[in-house]
Amino acid sequence: MSAQRASQLVEAGLWLRLSGDHEGAKRLFEQALKLDPTNARARQLLDSPPPAPQQAGAVSNLDWGLATGHTPTPPPVGKSTPTPPPITKSSSTRPFGEGPPAGTHTVRLGEAEAPAIPDVPRFEDPHGEVMITGGDDDAPADNSTLVFGLSGVPVPPSASAGSLPQTGTLVFGGAAARGQGNAPPQVAPAGGGTLVFGNDRSAPPQVAPVAPASTLVFGNTRDAPLQAASAEPGGGTLVFGSGKETVAPETSPVAGPASSTLVFGAPGQSTPPPIAPVGESSTLQFGTLAREQNQVTTDPGLPPFAIDEEPPVEEAPPVKSSSTLQFNFDDMVPGSAASPRAPSAPPEEPQTAWETSNPRIDISQLDLDTPGEGAGFDLISSPAPAPKPRSPAQLREEVATLLSGAKDLLDLDDHSGAMELINKALELDPTDAAALKLKDRSERTLQAMFESKLGDLMVTPRVKLKDDEIIWLNLDHRAGFVLAQIDGSVSFEDLFAVSGMSRLDTARILAQLVEEGVISKG
Amino acid sequence: MAEKEPVIGIDLGTTNSVVATVQGGAPVVIRNRTGSNLTPSVVAVSKTGKRLVGQIAKRQAITNPQDTVYACKRLIGRKFSSQQVQDALKVLSYQVVCGEHDDIRVKLGGKDISLPEISAMVLRELKADADQYFGRPVTRAVITVPAYFNDGQRQATKDAGRIAGLDVLRIVNEPTAAALAYGFGKTVNGKITVFDLGGGTFDVSVLEVGNGVFDVIATGGDTYLGGEDFDNRVIEWLVMGFAKEHGIDLRKDRMALQRLKDAAEKAKIELSTVKETQINLPFICTPPGGGAALHLQKALTREKLEELCSDLVERCITHCDQVLAEAKVKPGDLKEMILVGGMTRMPRVVEAVKKYFKRDPCKGVHPDEVVALGAAVQADALTSEESHVLLLDVTPQSLGVAIAGGYVRRLIPKNTTVPTSVTELFNTSKDEQTTVKIMVLQGEAELAHQNELLGEFILTGLRSAKRGEVEIEVTFEINSEGIVSVSARDKETGQKQSITVTASGGLTEDELQKILEEQGDYMLEARASDELKNKRAELDAVMKEVGDLLPKVQKVTEGSEFGVDAVAKAVKGLESARRAREQGNLAAVSEAVDTLNRTLNLFRGVIQRIGTR
C-alpha cells in the first residue's frame, strides 16, 4: 500500500517539477521515500536536479499523460550486448570542468532564444571526426564530442562508455533529467559515428560501437530511446523527428551489411518502426507516425546511408532561431565512414556527480503528431498539442493521483504546490467535487497566508523603488499592472478591487512585491 | 447664535464631479478622500463584489467593463426608446435595459439599477467628503445640470439627490453657475459665452446677464466630444508605436489598455504645463510566446499631442460658430468668455478659443472647479439672509401646445420666472369640429414632434360650427414647486378639461420610496461594515501585542500556578479572537477586543512587576 502511495507521490512530484515547483516536487519525492525507501524512482528523481528554468514553461504545456510511465521503458538490448569499451585518452570526450583537449571544441548553441549565428561553424571530417574548422589548436584527437543546444553544459564522459579512435559524437539539444535520461550518449567506439539532434528524453540513443555503423537521431526520442541493435558493418540508422512513447526497437534484427534505417517525423505510440532492418533493405519514414506507420521502403538497391569514406559536407547548417532548427540532411553526416556498427549498450545509471546533475533540456514531449508547419522539425515553435482523449477510468485515476499528492502537500503546508496539482486535476475534470473542495480550502489558506504577509489591508502601500530600478525587476505583466496601481492613494483592500484579478492572485502578487522589497506596507 | 447649517454646491459632471461650499464668504472646493478636487463620475461593482465609486471605480473601468457605469449623465431622465439613448447604447460597455415606464435601467452587479440611483452613488460619495470636511452631516445642496436638460432630466437629477440623502434646493444651469463663480451677476451686464470642454462632452453657451438674471440665449455642442477623445488619440499613438516595435497590439490586453488610458490622460495633463513628458509603462505585456515582460517607454511632446488632436480642437470651434449664429451674436459682441472643463487648460485649445473669440478668457478660477464654485455661491445665496444675489427659479425650456400643421404655440417661454400663469385663446381648425386634443409640449423646436411631449388630453362637447368660430381658452400654470397645470375651457359652454404634469425622472413615487428604504438599509450596513472594519483593526493590534508578550510572560511566570493559568487563558483568548475575526460578527469581534485588552493589561502588569526584577 505504501509502495503504491509512494508511486503516486512520485507521479505528483513529477507534475510539480514540470510546472516549475521544484521545491514542492522535492518534498513529494522525500515523502515517497519515507513511505517506500526502496522506491528507486523517487530516489533517482530526488537526486537528479530539476531541468533548467527556461524549460519549465515549455514543458508545462506538454501532454504528460503520454509520458507518465504507463508505457514501459523498452528492455535493454540483448544480454549479449557487449559492454562499451572504457574511455581512452584518445577520446576527446572529457569530464566536466576539464579544459578541452587540443584540437576540439565543445560548442553550445544558445540557451533560450539564440540569435542567428553569423559565422556558421564549418564541419569537416578529415579523419573520421566531427570538428569545427578555424580552431586555433592543433587537432590531433581522433574523437570529438560536440553538444549543441540547451543543456548548458558540455556532455560529460560516461564512465562506462569509451571512445575509440575514429569515433565522433554530436548531441544537438539536450536530454532531460528524467528516468534514464541522465545517461549521456554512449559514445561510439572505433569508427562509429553518433549524432543526436534534439532531445532524447528518457534515455539517449545507445549506439553500440560496431564499426563502421553510424547513427543519427534528429529530433526527439521520447520515453523509449533508440536502441540500435547490434549492427553489422555498414549499417546506418537515422531517426528524424520524435519517437513518442514507445519506439521499441527491434532488438533481434541485426542490421546486415549496408543496411540503413531512416525514420523521419514522429513515430507514434504503437508499433515502432524497425530501426535496424536486415540485409540490403532500407527503411525510410517521413512525417508523422502516429499509431499507424508510414513506412516507405526504398528500393533495396539503394546504397546504404552515410557510409562514405569521405563525408561530402563541410559546412554546418545555419541556425535561424532557437525555436526552429532547419537541417540540411546532406550536411548531416555521421562521424566516420569507416565506423563499424556496434550493438548498443543498455542504459546505465548515472555514474558521476555531473551526470546526476546534468540539466538536460527535454523538448521531446512536444507533440510532433500535431500536423502543422514543420511538423517533426519545428520542435520548439510547434503549437501546444490538443489534449488526448482519455477514458473516464484513466481520468479518475489521474485525478485521484493528483489529489492524493495535493493532500500530501497540504499536510506539508505547501499550499502553492497543492494548488498546482489541484488545478491540474480540475483541468482534467472541472466538476470533481473533491478537487473543488480542496481548491477552496487551499485558496482560503493561501489567501490568509498572503494577506497576513501584507498586514493591515487598509494600509496604503507605497513603491520603494524608482522607475529606472523597477524595470530591472523580474515581473510579469500582471504584477506590472498591480504595481502601476500603487500610487500612494489606494489601500491593499482597494487594490484587490481594482486589479481585475481574483483576490488570491492579487494577494499573491502583493505579497511577492512586499517580500522583494518593491513596495512598502504603508 | 446657532452655527449655520452647511450647504454645498455640486457639479455633477459626465466624467468628473466636484463639490464646493462657501466659507468665510469665498467659495472653496472640498477635496475628496484621495486628496483630489475631482471625483470621477464612475460607479462599479468589483469582481470581489465591492461597490466602488470615483477614482477607484475609474481605475478598473477597462478591466471590469461590464460592471462599471460611466457617463450616466448622458442617459439620465431620458426615455429608453429615445434616439439619444439608442445612439448611446452603441458605445456603452455596460448593459442597459428598458424599465417598466420606458425608463432606463443599468445592469450592475447582477441587479437592475435606475440611473438616479447610479448618480446617487456619486452624490453620496461627494456628500461623504463634505460630511468629513464639515465634521457633521450635510443635507442641503444645489446641483448643476447642462442648460439643455429638460424637466425630466432635471427631475431625475433631483431624485438622485434625494436618494443620496440630499435636499436639492435648486437645479442650476452649468453655464449660469460658471458665470456666477466670476461674480458676473453683480459686475457684468451683457452677453457672455461659456466654453465648456469637459471629459466627455462639449457645451458652448451664450448667456445674457443682467440684474441677477442669467438668460441662456443659445446652447449647443457635442455630447460625444471631450477629454477622453484626446486621451484616445494618445493611446492610439502609443499602441501603434508599440505594435511597430514589437508586433503586439496592446489593445487586446485589458490590463495594458487600462494602463495606457491612465498614462495617456496623465501625459496629456502634464503637457499643459511642460513641453515634453515621458510615458513609462514597465511590464506592460508579456509576449504571446512567453518570455520576459516588455516595457513601454516613450516621450511625448506637446507638439505631437497637438498634431494628434488638431481636428478635435477644430470641431470645438465649428460648434462655437453654430451657437453664436443661433444666438445671433458675433464674437466681438461678447463681453466675457469663460473657460470651463479641464481640457481648456490645453494650450492649443486656449489658443484656438482666443483666436476665434478675439479676446482673452476670464482668469482666476480653475476651469474644472468653476461650475461647482458657482453652485456653492448659489447654495449659499439661497440659505443666507445676508446674500444680495437675487436668484430666481426659471423654466428651463419653453412650454406650449401643438397646433394645426404640426407646429408649436409657446405659451411660457424658457427662463420665465416661476410661479407663473399664461392664458391664450385658440379656435377650432376644421368645420364641424366637436373635439380638440391638447398636447402639452416642452422644448425649443418649431415642429411639435421635435419637442418633449409632457402630456395630452381631449376636450369634448364643443359646439358644431365652422372652423375658427368656437373659442377655447387654454391656461398654463406653473406653481412654485415646478408643477405644470394645463386646462382648456370652451368659452361658450364653460366646459373644462385639465391635466397636471409633474416632471418625472423615470421613477414613480412608489419606486422612489422603495429605493429610499433600501438605501436606508444599505447605509446601516455600510456603517456596520465600517464599524466592523475598525474593530477588526483594533483586534489585530491587540492580538499582535498579546502574541508578542505571551512568550515573555510565559518565561517570567514559569513554574508558577498563576503563569500556567494566565498563559492558558491568553492562548484560548487569542484562539477565540481569531475565530471571531474570521466570522466577521461585530459583537463577537468587540467582545474579543475587550477580552484581549484585559489580558494585555494583565500581561503588562506582570512584565512590569516580575519581569523587571
Q: Which residues of chain A have pLDDT under 50?
A: 53-383
Q: Residue B192 domain-assigned?
A: no
Q: Does A479 touch chain B (CB under 8 A)?
A: yes
Same domain, B379 and B411: no
Q: Are residues B494 and B535 in the same domain?
A: no
Cβ contact A64:A365 at 8 Å: yes
Nine cell digits for residue A126:
578529415
Q: Which of residues 3-62 of A touch B (CB under 8 A)?
A: 57-58
Q: What was the pLDDT predicted at B612?
A: 55
Q: Which residues of B touch A501 (CB under 8 A)?
A: 47
The C-alpha atoms of residue B279 and residue B234 are separated, in whole angstroms, by 11
CATH number at residue B467: 2.60.34.10
Express each pLDDT in B97-144 by its tens digit. Answer: 998 888 999 999 888 999 999 999 999 999 999 999 999 999 999 999
**What is the phi/psi pair of residue A462, to 5°?**
-135, 150
Instruction: State the number of CA atoms in the 13 A half-sphere of A266 facing the CB.
Output: 30
Whether residue B231 lies inside any domain: the answer is yes
- For residues A134 and A97, the answer to whether their CB atoms sit within 8 Å is no
Residue type, A411: D
Q: Dump pLDDT digits (tens) for A158-191.
A: 433 333 344 444 444 443 333 333 334 444 344 4
What CATH code is carried by the domain that includes residue B98? 3.30.420.40
Contact B293 A489 (CB under 8 A): no
Q: Contact B35/A474, CB-based, under 8 Å?
A: no
Please tell me the CATH code under which domain A2-47+392-448 is placed.
Answer: 1.25.40
Torsion of CA A458, A460, A465, A467, to 10 degrees: 120
In a domain, B155, yes or no: yes
CA distance B12 to B15: 9
- Contact: B55, A489; criterion CB under 8 Å: yes
Same domain (yes/no): B369, B408? no
Grouping H, G, I as helix, E, B as strand and the rest as coil, residue B598 is: helix
How long, in residues, is chain B?
A: 613
Q: What single-letter DSSP state applies at residue A236?
A: E
Q: Do A458 and B533 touch (CB under 8 A)?
A: yes
Q: Which domain holds residue B256?
A: 227-310
**DSSP classification of residue A224:** S
Q: Which residue of A has its CA nearest to B45?
A: A497
B293 touches chain A (CB under 8 A): yes
User: What's the one-letter identity of residue A440?
Assistant: D
Phi, then psi, of B343 in degrees rounded to 5: -70, -20
d(CA B299, CA A358): 47
Instruction: List CB contacts (< 8 A) between B259 and chain A.
Output: 480-481, 484
A329 touches chain B (CB under 8 A): no
Kindly state whether residues B296 and B269 are assigned to the same domain. Answer: yes
Q: What is the mean pLDDT of each run of 10 residues along chain B (613 residues)?
A: 83 96 92 91 87 91 90 91 86 89 90 94 95 93 91 90 94 91 78 94 90 81 92 95 93 91 95 96 89 92 97 95 91 92 96 94 91 94 73 78 91 84 92 90 88 87 89 89 85 87 79 82 70 82 87 79 79 88 82 90 81 56
Are B492 and B596 members of one domain? no
Query: Cα–Cα distance between A6 and A21 in angstroms, integer?
Result: 19
Do both B480 and B525 map to the same domain? no
The set of catalytic residues of B is 11, 73, 174, 196
Q: Do A500 and B60 touch (CB under 8 A)?
A: yes
pLDDT of residue B356: 95
Q: What's the confidence (pLDDT) of residue A311?
A: 42
Chain A, chain B: beta-carbon pairs less than 8 Å apart = 84
- Report the b/e string of B137-169 with b at 16+ CB within 10 A: ebebbbbbbbbbbbbbbbbbbbbbbbbbbbebb
Copy the grid coordinates of residue A413.
Answer: 503546508
Same domain? For B488 and B516 the reply is: no
Q: What whole-number distance in Å separates Cα of residue B537 and Cα of residue A413? A: 27
Give the closest-approach CA distance of A57 to chain B in angstroms: 8
A41 close to A10: Cβ distance less than 8 angstroms: yes
Task: Kindly compute the dihedral angle of the four CA atoms of residues B114, B118, B121, B126, in this order, to the nearest 10 degrees.
Answer: -130
Would you call B47 and A477 a contact, using CB atoms and an 8 Å cutoff?
A: no
Same domain, B540 and B467: no
pLDDT of residue B499: 87
DSSP string, B147-196: TT--HHHHHHHHHHHHHTT-EEEEEEEHHHHHHHHTTHHHH--EEEEEEE
Cα separation values, B552 from B6, B540, B594, Å: 53, 19, 22
User: Does A500 contact B282 at a Cβ distance shorter than 8 Å?
Assistant: no
Instruction: Say whether residue A449 is in contact with chain B using an 8 A CB cutoff.
Output: no
Q: Is A155 exposed, middle or buried (0-12, 13-18, 19+ CB in 10 A)?
A: buried
Say whether residue B542 is in contact with chain A using an 8 A CB cutoff: no
Please indicate, yes or no, whether residues B586 and B541 belong to a single structural domain of this protein: yes
A383 touches B at CB < 8 Å: no
- Contact across the interface for B56 and A478, Cβ inside 8 Å: no
- In A, which residues are within 8 Å of B68 by CB distance? none
What nine digits make up the cell of B163? 436618494
Contacts of B292 in chain A (CB under 8 A): 474
Among B449, B483, B501, the domain-final residue is B501
- Smallest CA–CA distance, residue B302 to chain A, in Å, is 22
Three-class SS of residue A432? coil
In a domain, B325, yes or no: no
User: A interface mutation test: which of B43, B47, B62, B253 has the most A CBs within 10 A?
Assistant: B47
Residue A326's pLDDT is 37
ipTM of the complex: 0.74
Q: Which residues of A touch B537 (CB under 8 A)?
A: 456, 458
Angstrom distance (rounded) from CA A261 to CA A256: 11
Same structural domain, B151 and B23: yes
What three-state secondary structure class fits B347? helix
Tell me how many domains chain B contains: 4
Same domain, B148 and B290: no
Same domain for B523 and B595, yes or no, is yes
